């Protein structure tokens, strides 16, 4: 009588490079839910959720440029699939884009090729590289992302390792910084919404983008393919109006800023970084101009490219994912943490239960929440006021018996 011993199937081991940002958290949760054993690189351990092994690495540190580091990481953890989501999206130093988006990934590609275990690599690129040639030449981010694609194909040309390239469109999420500009743009005014130009766009939710990426793992149909992660064709005006509707607000009058005016204004940012032009660009384009270089702002409005339905259909056929309109994820925002748990009109953590159409209070409250709260120095009521307490009341003002703060002049004096 012979005994047949069945070996327990092992989970596919996935290395997620870049576990933070707008897309990383969604990839982590989705990989875990699909039963993969996940290892994630990130500068901070806080960016990695429970159940995932954290591998600390910083693309700006010397170790990230050492092929031996990536080879050890792949070998020691028996990695079979690599998802490269690491990227430098904003910096005022052009060398950071070259290093983070091109040079470090090239070391990763070489380590993947030399590995005897890795079977597949998924490179997260950007739809921005499909912009006009002059835009690519004048913008560091899409240019370095395009170079990374070329180096990936060159490195793995004669390798058995399969690769897939994913080019996401503008990613929007309510659970990360990607959603806040959309909310601010939609609720900045009760009367109107402002957008730059009238180009067609294909924004995608972070959840749908992550679903498309994970669906490519061990998917022979995606081998050697360049797929887009994009939602249905729309315009920024339609997105903002639909978001307002889902927040319970009235439709606003659409004010369209010509692209040439926006580009001229963004060019003035370099000359006057604290001026009105910065607010104009931030408001109309949803870009935080304090975090990106002026040249990125100047070309950002030209990145909004329409996609042919055939390309979205190709992604759907290969992955089975049909990306939904981005505004649908905002349907219940006014009953979630944005309007209840995090929004406070007076900074005392009391939820705002006012009229959702009063967007001015919403925006002011969210900005107040982001500012560090000032705490008055404590003192014994029976003792004389200390110099610190007197200075506090001069700067901030005192409170009435009912806790309300009286009006003060600019120095905090009534």
Range of the domain at 68: 13-331
Tokens of 183: 């909310």
Quick check: is 326 in a domain?
yes
Quick check: is 402 in a domain?
no
Quick check: is 364 in a domain?
no
Give the pLDDT of residue 337. 47
Give the pLDDT of residue 188. 72
Quick check: is 296 in a domain?
yes
Number of domains in the chain: 1
DSSP 8-class letter at 385: P
Per-residue pLDDT of the chain (414 residues), as tens digits, is: 444 444 444 689 999 999 988 899 999 999 999 999 999 999 988 889 999 999 999 999 999 999 899 999 999 999 999 999 998 887 778 889 899 999 999 999 999 999 989 999 999 999 888 877 766 776 788 889 999 999 999 999 999 999 999 999 888 876 655 555 677 777 777 788 877 767 788 889 999 999 999 999 999 999 999 999 999 998 888 988 988 887 777 888 888 877 666 666 655 554 554 554 555 555 444 444 444 444 444 444 444 566 788 999 999 999 999 999 988 877 655 544 444 443 333 333 334 344 443 444 444 555 555 555 555 555 556 666 666 666 656 555 544 433 344 443 433 333
Quick check: is 38 in a domain?
yes
Quick check: is 244 in a domain?
yes
Quick check: is 401 in a domain?
no
The four Cα atoms 167, 170, 171, 173 give a dihedral, to 10 degrees, of -170
Q: What CA–CA distances, in Å, run from 319 to 207, 210, 224, 383, 401?
A: 14, 11, 14, 70, 63
Spatial contact of 354 and 343, defined as CB atoms under 8 Å apart: no
Phi, psi of 310 (to 5 degrees): -65, -35
pTM for the full predicted model: 0.74
Which residue from 386, 406, 388, 387 is spatially nearest to 397, judged by alpha carbons? 406
Quick check: is 380 in a domain?
no
CATH of the domain at 267: 3.40.50.720
Give the pLDDT of residue 198. 74
Three-state DSSP class for 39? strand
């Amino acid at each position: 009588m012979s005994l047949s011993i069945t070996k327990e199937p092992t989970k596919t081991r996935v290395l997620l490079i870049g576990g933070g940002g707008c897309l990383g958290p969604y990839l982590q949760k989705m990989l875990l839910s699909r039963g993969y054993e996940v290892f994630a690189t990130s500068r901070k351990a806080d960016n990695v959720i429970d159940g995932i092994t954290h591998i600390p690495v910083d693309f700006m540190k010397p170790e990230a440029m050492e092929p031996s580091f990536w080879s050890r990481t792949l070998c020691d953890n028996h990695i079979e699939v690599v998802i490269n989501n690491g990227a430098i999206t904003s910096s005022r130093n052009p060398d950071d884009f070259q290093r983070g988006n091109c040079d470090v990934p090239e070391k990763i590609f070489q380590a993947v090729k030399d590995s005897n275990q890795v079977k597949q690599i998924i490179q997260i690129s950007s739809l921005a590289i499909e912009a006009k040639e002059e835009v690519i030449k004048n913008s560091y981010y899409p240019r370095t992302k395009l170079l990374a694609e070329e180096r990936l194909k060159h490195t793995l040309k004669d390798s058995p390792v399969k690769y897939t390239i994913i080019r996401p469109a503008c990613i929007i999420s309510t659970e990360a910084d990607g959603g806040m500009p959309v909310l601010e743009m939609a609720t900045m005014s009760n009367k109107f919404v402002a957008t730059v130009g009238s180009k067609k766009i294909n924004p995608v939710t972070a959840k749908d983008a992550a679903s498309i990426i994970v669906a490519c793992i061990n998917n022979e149909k995606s081998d050697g393919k360049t797929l887009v992660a994009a939602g249905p064709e729309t315009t920024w005006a339609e997105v903002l109006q639909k978001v307002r509707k889902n927040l319970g607000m009235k439709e606003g009058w659409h004010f369209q800023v010509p692209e040439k005016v926006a580009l001229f204004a963004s060019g003035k940012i370099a000359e006057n970084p604290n001026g009105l032009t910065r607010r104009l660009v931030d408001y109309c384009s949803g870009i935080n101009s304090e975090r990106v270089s002026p040249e990125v702002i100047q070309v950002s409005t030209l990145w909004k490219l329409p996609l042919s339905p055939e390309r979205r259909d190709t992604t759907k056929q290969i992955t089975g994912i049909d990306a939904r309109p981005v505004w649908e994820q905002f349907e219940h925002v006014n009953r979630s943490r944005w309007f209840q748990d995090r929004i406070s009109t007076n900074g005392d953590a009391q939820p705002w239960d006012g009229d959702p159409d009063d967007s001015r209070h919403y925006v002011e409250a969210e900005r107040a929440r982001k500012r560090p709260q000032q705490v008055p120095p404590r003192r014994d009521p029976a003792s004389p006021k200390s110099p610190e307490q007197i200075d506090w009341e001069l700067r901030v003002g005192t409170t009435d018996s009912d806790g309300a703060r009286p009006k003060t002049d600019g120095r905090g004096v009534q």
